[in-house]
Structure 1
Amino acid sequence: MTEMIAPPAAPMFYRELTALDPAVHLGWGLRERPDLAAARAANAVPLGVGEFWHASACYPIVFGLAGATGFPVVITALVEGRNLFVDAQGQWLADTYVPGWLRRYPFWMQPDPDGRNASLWFDPHARQVVPLHEYADARPLFDHQGHPNQALEQVVRFCRQCHADTSQTAAFMRALEQHGLLADRQASMELSPGNTYSLGGFRMIDMQAYHALPDPILAAWVRNGWASLVALHHVSVQQNWERLLALHRSLNG
């Protein structure tokens, strides 16, 4: 990458984006141990439809409010700014599914307008992409000729997978919006005796409206897999609010 390219707008959790360039970052590597401190205050993390199965076992899956934020998310906190799944060292709770948005961090892939190529960026503040002479545990991103090493090939492959899932997620969201299936909701929890907290700012699928869809539409949703997504969303909110409450209580005495 030799010409100057304006960086994309920094996505959620990213402070800044720097283009990954072999001319600049030859001799740099990727640290093995992820640091997710950037998400320590997150109440919710974006989710792709390809992740619903795994995420439904751990979190309530809900949807952002209408507009640019109206994508699926997993709820990660019951109180503003206190992610229950990230510890003080930036490590995610063991044996719990980590959303792809965070597994991709600190990298970000930006497709060109024609969709044929894409540029790769990273957040330098994450301290995950680092000079090899400073961090012996880092995996080299480039070989001595500036060609991608295995570590970078894996990053690119995963970023492309995330981008493809984003397109499928957008199609599902358009269908939900088109049929008016999303309704504003809030969850009220008794965090401790006499201390009730209400969490709002999200939407859920109105199951009565969903089941009232015409048979041809429901049949099409079964064939294309969207009916399974609706079911996973419904199961996740039925079983995981109590799980979050138990986790909150265990961490807060």
Structure 2
Amino acid sequence: MASQAPQGLPLFYKDLIPLSQQEHAGWRYVPLQTADFLKNEHAVPLTIDEFAVSQRFFPIIFSSGDNPVPLALMGLNEGINTFVDDEGKFNDDVYVPAYVRRYPYLLARLNESSDELSLCVDPTSGGIAKVDEGDTIFDGEEISNYTKELLQFLEGFEQAGQRTGAFVQELKDNDLLMEGEVTIQQNEGGDPMVYRGFQMVNEEKLRALRGDVLRKMMQSGLLPLVHAHLFSLSVMREIFARQVAQGKTPAPGTAPAIV
């Protein structure tokens, strides 16, 4: 889940610039008051460090394709987020994934020939400004304490992303992922909604794993993560119910894809 910039910008980001003492001396951080960048996004990347708490709120699925990524579903249909209103405000007390909390900041590799990561910001977000109030980006020639805390959070996120990549690779190595499908009956006697376009763990193959493989997964902490993912799938119907209550459900029979 390491970020690249500026060629392929990650989800949410419209632009990316590095923070520098030369350009941003005297600038301050401006906390975002809303998450309007999130209101039309139904799926957000998730790290395995967040599975335990996220399973209570969101279905945890894996994206389709050869390089699957764990995703927290905030809605079942593209463009629908059941946790954020039209003004970008959260309408419930819900866990906010780290991927969302890091915006508009990012550790990005600005030079493909270097492994060095730079602290960057989306300048279109309003997350920094030359104002008189707020936490400073720099204190003289040094970065501020707030910047140090931000870097610590972003570095932790990158490390969690690496652990997540290793977890997904182990699922692939053991051939545990399969194409998912969920059918939800909206009204009695009506056509069901069929959701596809995602991957999930194949429980039959999980049960068929050799004992030594399962033991290794248990000892490494990976097996509880798989169970968290599987348990979370029951939340799919709760998210559908939220869409119905908010009037955001597509016409029956359209069989929309999740991702």
TM-score normalized by the length of structure 1: 0.87
SS at match of 1:24: helix
Matching residue of 2:208:
212
* Paired letter, 2:63: G
The answer as to whether partners of 2:21 and 2:138 remain within 8 angstroms in 1 is yes
How far apart are 1:123 and its partner, in Å? 0.8
In structure 2, the CA distance between the partners of 1:99 and 1:252, relative to structure 1 (3 Å rule), is same
Per-residue CA deviations over 1:159-194 (Å, capped at 9, x if unaligned) read: 000000011001011111111111111223345674
Matching residue of 1:172:
167
Matching residue of 1:241:
236
**Structure 1: stretches of 5+ with no match in the other structure:** 1-5
1:157 paired with 2:157, answer no
1:104-253 matches, cutoff 5 A = 104-111=102-109, 115=115, 117-133=116-132, 136=133, 138-143=134-139, 145-191=140-186, 194=190, 196-238=192-234, 240-252=235-247
The answer as to whether partners of 1:192 and 1:249 remain within 8 angstroms in 2 is no
SS at match of 1:180: coil
In the aligned structure 2, how far is the partner of 1:75 from the partner of 1:192? 22
SS at match of 1:73: strand
Matching residue of 1:3:
none
In the aligned structure 1, how far is the partner of 2:195 from the partner of 2:135? 41
* Paired letter, 1:79: N
In structure 2, the CA distance between the partners of 1:229 and 1:71, relative to structure 1 (3 Å rule), is same
Q: Which ranges of 4 or more aligned residues in structure 1 deviate by more than 6 Å?
A: none
In structure 2, the CA distance between the partners of 1:100 and 1:34, relative to structure 1 (3 Å rule), is farther
TM-score normalized by the length of structure 2: 0.85
SS at match of 1:234: helix
Matching residue of 1:92:
90
Per-residue CA deviations over 1:97-150 (Å, capped at 9, x if unaligned) read: 1111010111110257664x42111111111222224xx4x322222x142222
How far apart are 1:196 and its partner, in Å? 4.2
The answer as to whether partners of 2:75 and 2:240 remain within 8 angstroms in 1 is no
**Structure 2: stretches of 5+ with no match in the other structure:** 249-259
Matching residue of 1:80:
78
In the aligned structure 1, how far is the partner of 2:101 from the partner of 2:59? 19
Over the matched positions of the two proteins, sequence identity in percent amounts to 26
How far apart are 1:8 and its partner, in Å? 5.3
In the aligned structure 2, how far is the partner of 1:21 from the partner of 1:192? 56
SS at match of 2:66: coil
Per-residue CA deviations over 1:75-117 (Å, capped at 9, x if unaligned) read: 11122211111222222343101111010111110257664x4
The answer as to whether partners of 1:64 and 1:71 remain within 8 angstroms in 2 is yes
How far apart are 1:195 and its partner, in Å? 6.5
In structure 2, the CA distance between the partners of 1:120 and 1:192, relative to structure 1 (3 Å rule), is farther
SS at match of 2:44: strand
The answer as to whether partners of 1:92 and 1:98 remain within 8 angstroms in 2 is no
In the aligned structure 2, how far is the partner of 1:85 from the partner of 1:216? 41
SS at match of 1:109: strand
The answer as to whether partners of 1:132 and 1:140 remain within 8 angstroms in 2 is no
Per-residue CA deviations over 1:189-227 (Å, capped at 9, x if unaligned) read: 345674643332110100110111111110000010000
Matching residue of 1:45:
44
In structure 2, the CA distance between the partners of 1:93 and 1:67, relative to structure 1 (3 Å rule), is farther
Per-residue CA deviations over 1:24-75 (Å, capped at 9, x if unaligned) read: 112222223453212221121000000101111100001011224x110011
